[in-house]
Each structure stands twice: as structure tokens, then as C-alpha cells.
Amino acid sequence: MSDLVKNRRAFHDYEILETFEAGIALQGTEVKSLRAHGGTLSESYVMVRGSELYLIGSSIAPYTYGNVHNHEEKRDRKLLMHRYEIEKLRRQTQEKGLSIVPIALYLKKGKVKVKIALGKGKKAYDKRAAIKEREDKRRIAQELKGS
């Protein structure tokens, strides 16, 4: 399982509660472009429309060797999951006010998969506390290593 694209902001902006794996409907040139690490997930999110999931705001760069049939860079891409999982996500987002955030695009057995997560948005003071805690851990580890 090799990561093609990661969304590092997701862990900074959200408290991740639960993760899921979803397939994604892509065109051929999109897969080739992703294999060349030509994509971003920053500023993207997942939305439930009807009984389907869509990845919105992600960018997959046009394939450099593509022709007139090359894909559109920013478009809504359908995510593939079981209906009961989609309903679970819909309930969680409506009742508890959680967000569905894409974390990574990766290859699994030759297919592109999306790792999505239910996340609760962090406030500014939560972000500062997380940074302070991480720096404290790093400082303690360095002091233990030095002595």
C-alpha cells in the first residue's frame, strides 16, 4: 500500500474519530497522473448527495502525456462504498455535526482507494495545545537521548 497523495492539514484541522476506505471512480488519465504523484487533497472534503458520496475540491493534475481526451483537473469524483456505510456517515454528519475529510489516496492491489475519516473540527486553542504537546514530547525525548 503506497500513498500517492496525503492530506496533512486534516490532522491539524480535525480530531480524527473513525477512518474508512472507499473506492473512487476515476478516468484513465487521472490514474496515470496520480501514479506520477500529480494530485492534492488540501481544501477538499467529502459530501453525501442522495445515497452517494462525492469527493469535492480535490485536484488531479492533467496527465502530461495526455491528448484531447485528458481529464478535467478539478471535478467532483464519486466515491464507492457500501450503502450502509454511507448511511452511517450521513447520520453522523447530520446528528453530531461531524465532517467527512479525505486523508489519503493510495494504491491497493492496483486500484486507487481513498482513506476518509469522520472528524471533529478543532478550535484555534486546540491546535495550539496539540503543537505545544508535540514540542514537549520532542524536547523530553531529546533530553533522555542526551543523558
Query: Could you read off the pLDDT of 79-91 as tens digits, one per residue?
Result: 999 999 999 999 8
Cα separation of 64 and 59, whole Å? 15
Question: How far, in whole angstroms, is CA 133 from its chain's centroid?
Answer: 24
pTM over 0.85: no
| β-strand pairing of 39-40 with 59-60 | antiparallel
- Rounded to 5 degrees, φ, ψ at 127 are -65, -45
Contacting residues for 12 by C-beta, under 8 A, at least 6 apart? 122, 127, 130
What confidence tens digit (pLDDT) does each residue in 33-77 have?
888 887 888 888 899 988 899 999 888 888 777 777 777 778 888
Domains defined along the chain, listed by start: 2-122 (2.40.280.10)
For residues 96-123, average pLDDT: 88
Q: What does the block give as the cell for 105?
A: 489516496
